[in-house]
Amino acid sequence: MTSLSFGAATFVPILMRPMGEDLGWDRATLSLGHSLAMVAAGTGGLAIGYLSDRVNFTILCVVAALAISGGLLLCAQATTPFELYAGYALLVGAVGQATFFGPITAIVSHWFDRNRGVAMAIVLSGQSVGGLVVPVALRNLAVWWGWRDAVIAYGLFCLVTIGLASLVFCRRPGVLEMEKRIAAESPKDAQDQLRIFWGLVFMLVLVNSGTFIIIAHLVALAEEQGFSPSLASGLLTVLLGSSLISRLMSGGWADRGNAIPSLLACTFLIPLGGALLLFGSGSSALLIAGGCVTIGLGYGGVFPAYVHLVRKAFSGAVAGTSISVMFFFAFLAAAVGSWIGGVTRDLYGGYEVALSISITLSATSFLAGMLILRRQSPSPT
C-alpha cells in the first residue's frame, strides 16, 4: 500500500518530461502540481491521523484506494493545470498519500511492543520498494503507451491491490489498549515532549526540502544530462532502492537505542550525495550514480529514526496524531523543495543552483541536529 501510494504521489516527477512535451507546460507548472500534492498530503494527514486514533483503519484504507485511483484517472484526462492539480492534490495527495505514510506507520506501531522500530521501518520501506519498481515501470509504460494510458493503468492497479490489502487492518491491535493504561499511570512531561518534537520537526523540514529538490527533479535532470528515459528513471530507482537498505537498518538501530546517532549519520550523507551530484553533472555518470546511492542511504535512514523518537515521546493513544503532525511539515517541506527545483531550473536553465540550495538545507539540518539532540539520551523503547 505504501509502495503504490508513493508511486501515485510521484508520477509527475517520473513523467515530467513527456508530460511537459505533450501539454506544452514548463517545469515550474508541473513542479507546482507535485508541490500542491505534497502540501495536500500533509494537510490531509492531520485529519486522517486524528481519525486513525478513533476509527477502524480498514475504512480509511478503502477510501484512500478509491481516491488514488480516481485522482489518477482525472489526471490522465487533464488538459489544463487546474484539472491536473485537482485530481493530483485533492485526491491522490490529500486522501491517498496522506493515509499511507504517517497514519499507517502509527497504526502498525500499535501491533508491536518489541521490535517496534523495525516494524515501522518496514512500513516506511514501502516508499523505497515503490522507488525500485514504479519509476522504471511507469516511465517505460509511458514510452510504449503514452503517459495518459500509463497513468490510467496504474490507477486501476492501485484500486484493486490496495483495496484487497486493506483487509489486513480489520482486527484491532491489543497493544494499544495496554499502552493507554500505561500512559494514564505514567504521564510524560509535556514541556519535554514538545521541545523534542519541535526540534525534530525543524530538522526534518530542512532535510526534506533539500532532499526533494533532488528527488522531484532527478529524472528530468538526468535526461538533460543525456541519459535515456529508462536510465534516467533508473537513477531514481537507484536512489529510492538504496534507501531500502538504510531504512531497515535504521529501524533496528533505533530498537537498540541508537536512533539519534543513526539520524545524524544518515542526515550527513544527504548533503554529501548532493555534492557528488553537483560535481558529477555534465562530466561523470559515475559521480551522479554515486550521489544517488549516497542520498538514498541517507534519506532512507532518517525517517525511521524520526518516527521512533516521536513515537517514544508520545503515548500510543495519540501516536497517529503526533506522527501525522510531524509528517505534515515533512510534506510541506517536500512541496517547497519540489517547487524550488522547478523555479530555479527555469530561471537559470539548469539544476546547478537547485543542487547548491539542496546541499545547504540538508547540511544545516545536520548542524541543527548536533545542537538539538546533543543532550538527549538514546535509550531504547
- Cα gap 13→34, rounded to integer Å: 7
Reported as a pLDDT band with limits 50, 70 and 90, residue 43 is: confident
CATH 3.90.170.10 fits 2-372, yes or no: no
3-state secondary structure the chain: CHHHHHHHHCHHHHCHHHHHHHHCCCHHHHHHHHHHHHHHHHHHHHHHHHHHCCCCHHHHHHHHHHHHHHHHHHHHCCCCHHHHHHHHHHHHHHHHHHHCCHHHHHHHHCCCCCCHHHHHHHHHHHHHHHHHHHHHHHHHHHHHHCHHHHHHHHHHHHHHHHHHHHHHHCCCCCHHHHHHHHHHHCCCCHHHHHHHHHHHHHHHHHHHHHHHHHHCCHHHHHHHCCCCHHHHHHHHHHHHHHHHHHHHHHHHHHHCCCHHHHHHHHHHHHHHHHHHHHHHCCCCHHHHHHHHHHHHHHHHHHHHHHHHHHHHHCCHHHHHHHHHHHHHHHHHHHHHHHHHHHHHHHHHCCCHHHHHHHHHHHHHHHHHHHHHCCCCCCCCC
Indicate whether 185 pLDDT > 50: no
Contacts of 240 (CB under 8 A, 6+ apart): 127, 128, 130, 131, 132, 135, 215, 296
pTM for the model = 0.73
| Angstrom distances, CA of residue 247 to CA of 118, 165, 333 | 9, 22, 20
List, for residues 47-95, the tens digit of each pLDDT value. 888 887 778 888 888 999 999 999 999 999 999 999 999 999 999 989 9
Q: Where are the domains of the chain?
A: 2-372
Reported as a pLDDT band with limits 50, 70 and 90, residue 149 is: very high
List, for residues 276-332, the tens digit of each pLDDT value. 999 988 777 889 999 999 999 999 889 888 888 887 776 555 666 777 788 889 888
C-alpha cell at 372: 538539538
- Which pLDDT belongs to residue 365? 95
- Which pLDDT belongs to residue 353? 94
